[in-house]
Amino acid sequence: MSTEAPPLPAVQTAGLTRAFGALKALDALELTVQKGDLFGFIGSNGAGKTTTLRILATFLAPTAGMARVFGRDVAREADAVRHVIGYMPDFFGVYKDMEVTEYLDFFGACYKIPAAQREKTVGDVLELVGLSEKKGALIGALSRGMQQRLGLARVLIHDPELLLLDEPASGLDPRARIEMMAILQELQRMGKTIIISSHILRELETLCNRVAIIEKGRLIYSGPVQGVRDQMAAGRVLWVTVSSDPVQALELLKSRPEVASAEPVDGRIKVTLAGAEIDHSVVAHTLVTGGARLTGLQEDELGLEEVFLRVTRGETQ
Ligand X SMILES: Nc1ncnc2c1ncn2[C@@H]1O[C@H](COP(=O)(O)OP(=O)(O)O)[C@@H](O)[C@H]1O
- Give me the residues that bind ligand X (CB under 6 A), please: 20, 23, 25, 43, 45-51
Q: Which is nearer to ligand X, 217 or 235 (CB)?
A: 217
- 59: partner contacted, choices ligand X, Mg ion, none (Cβ within 5-8 A by kind): none
Q: Which is nearer to ligand X, 196 or 262 (CB)?
A: 196
Report the distance separating Cα 160 and Cα 35, nearest Å: 12
Angle between helices 246-254 and 281-289 (to 10 degrees): 120
- 47: partner contacted, choices ligand X, Mg ion, none (Cβ within 5-8 A by kind): ligand X
The minimum distance between CB 187 and ligand X, in angstroms, equals 22
DSSP-based three-state secondary structure for 115: helix
Pick from 196, 131, 120: nearest CA to 157:
120
The minimum distance between CB 246 and Mg ion, in angstroms, equals 44
Nearest residue to Mg ion, by Cβ distance, number only: 50
Q: Which is nearer to ligand X, 60 or 142 (CB)?
A: 60
DSSP-based three-state secondary structure for 269: strand
DSSP-based three-state secondary structure for 147: helix
Instruction: Pick the stretch among 15-23, 27-35, 42-50, 81-89 that binds Mg ion (CB under 5 A).
Output: 42-50
Q: Does 50 bind Mg ion (CB under 5 A)?
A: yes
- 48: partner contacted, choices ligand X, Mg ion, none (Cβ within 5-8 A by kind): ligand X
DSSP sequence for 42-73: E--TTSSHHHHHHHHTTSS--SEEEEEETTEE
Q: Which is nearer to ligand X, 213 or 294 (CB)?
A: 213
Q: Is 106 left (phi over 0), alpha (psi -120 to 50) or beta?
A: alpha
* Contacting residues toward Mg ion, per CB under 5 A: 49-50
